[in-house]
Structures are given as C-alpha cells and as structure tokens.
Amino acid sequence: MGKVLMIGAGGVATVAAFKINKNADVFTDFMIASRRKEKCDEIVKAIGNPNIKTAQVDADDVEQLKALMRDYKPEMVINLALPYQDLTIMEACLACGCHYLDTANYEPRDEAHFEYSWQWAYKQRFEEAGLTAILGCGFDPGVSGIFTAYAAKHHFDEIHELDIVDCNAGDHHKAFATNFNPEINIREITQKGLYYKDGQWIETEPLEIHRTLTYPNIGPRESYLLHHEELESLVKNYPTIRQARFWMTFGEEYLTHLRVIQNIGMARIAPIDYNGQKIVPLQFLKAVLPNPQELGENYEGETSIGCRIRGVKNGKEQTYYVYNNCKHQEAYKETGMQGVSYTTGVPAMIGAMMFFKGLWRKPGVWNVEDFDPDPFMKELNKQGLPWHEVFGGDLEL
C-alpha cells in the first residue's frame, strides 16, 4: 500500500507522475495537487490513467494543505512545487502525520539565498512525530549525493576532493530559455559562487572561476563554478573532504543573455512600482520566457552529470568518476518533457519508492546520502538513468 500525494504540476512533476504510474506495484494510490488543477488534469490526460486523482491547492497556505492531506490521507507527500513552499508543506505534513520528500532546499522569496538550516531545524519535530523527511532527492541535489555515498561505501576509505560536474549539451533551438523554472534558475546562477576548501567556505564573484572540462560522449565544454546546495550537507557528512566544488556548463549565448538581463534590471527580485502596480521584474521575465515544459519537442543532445572524486583506498591514492548521460529526445518520447525535468523527476520517484519499500525510512530530516545508496543505484539503472564508472582516469581538476 503506497498512497502518495504529489504537489506541483510542472516539468519535474510531469516526469515523476509518469514514473509513479509505471510503478503501480509500489504506488497504489496517487493524487496530483497544484495551484491550478487544470495542469494536474493535463498530466493525467497525458498519462491516460483516470484513476489518478487531482486537486487544487495553494501550497503557500498551511491550512489549505492540511485540509487536503486530512481529506486524502496520503502516507507520503512529494513536494515538486517550488523551494518557497518547502516549509509550509513540511508544517502540514507534521500536522497530518505524512512523510515528506523534496528536490530543492528552502529559499525565501525576498532573498536569493538557499541553505539547509531552515529545513534541518525540523529534525527533532519529525523525529518525535516518527516521520521521515528526505531532502533534495532530484539529480543535483539528489543523485550527486547518492553517487558520493556509493563511492564512499565501495571505493574509498577517505574522500579528499569532490567535484560535481553538470553538463547540459542540449540544443533547444531558442535564443534563450532555462531548463527549469526560470525564476529559480536565474536566482541560482546570478548568485556569488562558493566552494569548500580546508574547512573554509570561499566566496567568488558570480561565474568568476571556469575551466574547460571534457564530458563523456560530448567533449569539452566550458564549466563554471557555482554554489550548489548539496555541498553543504556532503562536507558535513564526509568530514575527510578537503575540497568540494560544483561546476555547470553554460554556452556563450546563454551567458550573454544573462548578462543583458542583469544589466537592464530584469533579474531583480525586489518589487517595483509600474503604473500603480507592484511587479517583480524576474517574475515578469519568467512570464515572457519560453516555458521549460515546452522545450522537449525540438531538444537535441544530452546531459551528463556526475561526481569526480579523489581520495584514498587501502593506503593508495585513487580517482573515480561516476556519471549518467541522458538524451533529451529519449526523455521527451517517454514523458513529453526534456532531459533536465527527466533527470530530476525520476530520482524523486525512486526516493519515494525507497521509502515505500521500507529501505529509506527513519524518523527525522535527512539528506539522501544519509541512506543506503545501493538499492537506489540499482533502481537508477532500471528506471531510465543508467550510470557508468571510470576508475583511475584523469579528473582534469
């Protein structure tokens, strides 16, 4: 018996819904709820299973969430709305006795800043309620932490250097578009960079540090150092790590557009007064940019995301690279969505599957690397995200 309520009906949620539907032996009852019920109904229509229930909910409102959870009585809530809603959904889960899973850590609307402290503060309350909360179970964060946990379990006595490398070598044939929610994406990329070295966090200017890295089946791509949320939990959970960094590829065209967007003030998140109306420029920009959910049809190429790790095994220095490549067209054929939604939605479903199978179940608030990576790694291979390993190769970093 696996009764699940998924909140959100965007690109990631659509992929997770397809995968939940395909694993009906685990997920016996399924409801999709979002700000606009019609978006949930569209997903059900695309899947073609009328047994999936839908509902309208404003996930910023704890009382509405509680009413929905009390009515539907899910065992677990999968939060695939936006990072702004993490705390309200966690509050409602505590009030209604529901387990919780998400793919992105909490971010306040009025400050482009993310860190785990807000959600980790719920640990004791989830423990006392006997409820499991699984944080950051997409690809990065998510699979990046599971890859690290798998490396630590099987291939290293000590991890010393961790580089998470995220390449999207796809072409959607638009002048400028983001691959997931534009507002969240632009807030993330325009922040200062941050990495961990010898017990300190080192801040950089946005996109200041970059290198050319070679990705399997893709080739060389310029890769930029960004702050990314999983670094915070990974350096805490693996204290032998001396250096931890996150790299993401961007093309020249993308960076030029981003620079213009910033220079003309369209990336601002503070409201402005426009003809007597309050408008947040970045939210207005989101409304005119291509919808990431509609990029799939003409998207060519693939993503490649992995962990490059240096450390010690049996007294010898060792390098290890574990990665997945995902083709946008294959993701589109299966789910109607592009590869970035696919690589996030599939792990969210697998995390929930781990919970329902009793493999990832412990009261408290946890990051993915706090659980056994082995059954999750097996499912990645079965559910459309196969991974590969390189031992002793040149990490380029």
Residues at the site binding ligand NDP, with contacts judged by CB under 6 A = 7-13, 34-36, 39, 57-60, 80-83, 85, 103-104, 138-142, 180-181, 184, 292-293, 340, 344
Residue among 141 and 311 whose Cβ is closer to ligand NDP:
141
Question: Which residues on adjacent β-strands are paired with residue 132?
Answer: 364
What amino acid is encoded at 239 in this protein? Answer: P
Residue among 182 and 311 whose Cβ is closer to ligand NDP:
182
Taking the complex as a whole, how short is the minimal distance between the CB of residue 255 and ligand NDP, in angstroms?
20
Taking the complex as a whole, how short is the minimal distance between the CB of residue 144 and ligand NDP, in angstroms?
8
Q: How far apart are CA 268 and CA 177, in angstroms?
A: 18
Q: How far apart are CA 90 and CA 85, in angstroms?
A: 9
Taking the complex as a whole, how short is the minimal distance between the CB of residue 122 and ligand NDP, in angstroms?
17
Taking the complex as a whole, how short is the minimal distance between the CB of residue 286 and ligand NDP, in angstroms?
8
Taking the complex as a whole, how short is the minimal distance between the CB of residue 34 and ligand NDP, in angstroms?
4
Q: 323: helix, coil or strand?
A: strand
Residue among 138 and 364 whose Cβ is closer to ligand NDP:
138
Residue among 178 and 318 whose Cβ is closer to ligand NDP:
178
Residue that the structure tokens 């395909």 belong to: 22
Q: Take residue 89 and report the two structure tokens written for it.
A: 């959904």
Q: Take residue 273 and report the two structure tokens written for it.
A: 């007064």
Residue among 103 and 318 whose Cβ is closer to ligand NDP:
103
Enclosing H/E stretch for 153: helix 143-154
* CA 183, 185, 189, 195 torsion-angle sign: positive
Please state, in angstroms and as integers, the Cα–Cα distance from residue 69 to each residue in 3, 72, 97, 129, following that order. Answer: 11, 5, 9, 16
Taking the complex as a whole, how short is the minimal distance between the CB of residue 82 and ligand NDP, in angstroms?
5
Contact in structure between 7 and 40 (CB atoms under 8 Å)? no
Which residue lies nearest ligand NDP, judged by its C-beta?
Answer: 10
* Sequence-separated (6 or more) residues with CB below 8 Å from residue 276: none
Taking the complex as a whole, how short is the minimal distance between the CB of residue 369 and ligand NDP, in angstroms?
14
Q: Take residue 146 and report the two structure tokens written for it.
A: 């599971």
Residue among 81 and 94 whose Cβ is closer to ligand NDP:
81
